[in-house]
Amino acid sequence: MLAEWSFVGVFLVIALAFPPLGLVTAWLLRPKRPGPIKKSTYECGLETVGDTWVQFKVQYYIYALIFVIFDIEIAFLLPWAVAHMGLSAAQGILPLIEVVIFVGILVAGLMYAWRKGALEWI
């Protein structure tokens, strides 16, 4: 079993090594002549305005909430999708009907969010 996970481990090591490697390489290669302009915060090339800690709009939060709910839905649908072929052979259309009910209930939720304008950017 763990052999299957070894490539995840390889990815993990590469991913963890990547950012420090880039920084270290840059630190080794770059010329070092700091100035007040160079040390200022970079924001689209313009001068920075205000604090970096700003309050977010509630709209972000509602997006995130709706995202979490459909994320969980996906997590539940995955095992169904994997098992679907075997089950359909044995039980015909029933597994499909069951998942249609599952998704249908959540479509009602999507419809609700849409009609309430929760998906609009304000």
Partner 1 sequence: MNVFLTSIFVIVSVITLVGALGVVMARTVFASGLWLILSFAGVAGLYVLLEAPFLAAAQILIYVGAVAVLILFAVMLTRRVMGDPGVSQNNSQWGAAAVVAALMFIVLSLTSVQNWRPSTESPPLLAVNALGEAFLGPYLLPFEIVSVVLLVALVGAIILARE
Partner 2 sequence: MVSGLDFQLFLPETILLVGGIAVLIADLFLRERADRETNLAWVSLAILVAALVASAAQYGVSESLFRSSADPVAPGAFVVDGFTTFFRIIAILTTIIVFLASVEYVRGRTAFRGEFFALMIFSTLAMTLMAGSTDLVMVIISLEFLSITSYILTGYLRGNVKSNEGAVKYFLYGSITTAITFYGASLLFGVAGSTNLYDIAARFADPTAIIGTPLMSLVLPAIIFLLAGFGFKIALVPFHQWSPDAYEGAPTPVTAFLSVGPKAAGFAMLLRVFAVALPEFTHEWAALMIGVAMVTMTLGNIVALSQTNVKRLLAYSSIAQAGYMLIGVAGVSVANIAGIAPGEGGAGLAIDGTAGVLLYILAYLFTNLGLFIGVIAVDYLAGSDTLPGYAGLLRRAPFLTVAMTIFFLSLVGIPPTAGFIGKFWVFGAAIQNQLFALAAVGAINGVISVVYYFRILKQMWYEAPADPTPLRLPGTMNAALWICLSLTLLIGLFPAPFIEFANQSIHMLGVFVRS
Report which DSSP code applies to 30.
S
Q: What is the chain's length?
A: 122
Q: Which of 37, 74, 89, 93 binds partner 1 (CB under 8 A)?
A: 74
Work out whether 101 is an interface residue with partner 1 (CB under 8 A): yes
Nearer to partner 2, 22 or 109 (CB): 109
Work out whether 23 is an interface residue with partner 1 (CB under 8 A): no
Is residue 48 within 8 Å of 40, Cβ to Cβ? yes
At its nearest, how many Å lie between partner 2 and the CB of residue 84? 14
Q: Which residues bind partner 1 (CB under 8 A)?
A: 1-2, 5, 8, 53-58, 60-62, 64-69, 71-76, 78-84, 86-87, 91, 94-95, 98, 101-103, 105-106, 108-109, 112-113, 116, 118
